[in-house]
Structure 1
């Protein structure tokens, strides 16, 4: 999986990392993870929801400018950001919920599962980036 992240970054193709994919993106760029956090998986084996707040001026905020409730199920999170990554959304407890790699192509990682919710804007942003690329 790390090789796939590296190949996508090297090829300059749009990249969306979802949940563990965001964590892999961070690790691939030299970042670290918190091995266990509480409160982001409400019931074992069941998706929960919590709000995330975008960082103004980021690509994520361009797609989703307001705080939203997202479907989530994770117990690990970004600790130290990987080289070049910036945080583009946070949970209320300060957990990094989205990261991106500013530059010439679209790279976004989200800690939640946009494919599991009703809000399709993250997926639409990926499709737009791919169509433009």
Structure 2
């Protein structure tokens, strides 16, 4: 059951199904970068993993107070009526279908939503928007994804008066790992942050409900300070930004 007024809010977080090795096993498993869990816990919430399996339907939203749609694979362009660009990654219909259902249910029931990277793109697609399938084709440059496994550090400006600006300020350096971005913005969504090249880096749903999504990765690289390398490999990762997790948990508490 979802929490009551005296208990911490339960935050459902979408996950991936991947072939995973642990101990003596090498099997399909529901996995998630640890930073998402740490971010929710540090903000005072209780994280619950939502795997993309049969039965992940609207009823799930009656058991959680907030929804965090995590980053991951490219969305199948069939969902926004586009031909596949050669740069678009393999389709993941399990995630596309399950997360589409969860987002629709959250919006219908006023459940607070935070989207991260893929989560932002899927929110736009669910509401009728489209995507640029490969940023270098449209904007040029590779700042948003220097190479696989390496975050790009991108300066972002936020919209004055927006929910996002109240959380992170007017300007913020963020860590990106995406090669796709918003093209046609869905009705009801408002762009609230931009990179210098014009790429939309955050969106909000107009109205009082907490529905916010960012292209960047606030969850960090999952490494503790003691295990963080001091050499050039340090540039591969980044430190968690707690502010968006705190905002989601606060909205879910209300």
TM > 0.5: yes
Deviates more, 1:61-70 or 1:22-31: 61-70
Could you tell me the TM-score, scaled by structure 1's length? 0.94
Following the alignment from structure 2 to structure 1, what is the Cα–Cα distance between the partners of residues 173 and 241?
9
User: Which residue does the alignment assign to 1:111?
Assistant: 215
Could you tell me the TM-score, scaled by structure 2's length? 0.50
User: Which residue does the alignment assign to 2:126?
Assistant: 28
User: Which residue does the alignment assign to 2:100?
Assistant: 2
Q: Which has the larger radius of gyration?
A: 2
Aligned residues: 132
Shift of 1:15: 0.1
Deviations 1:42-97 (A, max 9, x none): 12222221111111011001111131111110000000111100001000111000
Higher relative contact order (CA 8 A, sep 6+): 1
Following the alignment from structure 2 to structure 1, what is the Cα–Cα distance between the partners of residues 103 and 203?
14
Q: CA RMSD in A?
A: 1.1
User: Which residue does the alignment assign to 2:92?
Assistant: none
Following the alignment from structure 2 to structure 1, what is the Cα–Cα distance between the partners of residues 193 and 251?
19
Is 1:61–2:165 an aligned residue pair? yes
User: Which residue does the alignment assign to 1:100?
Assistant: 204
- Unaligned 5+ segments in structure 2 are 1-98, 137-141, 221-238
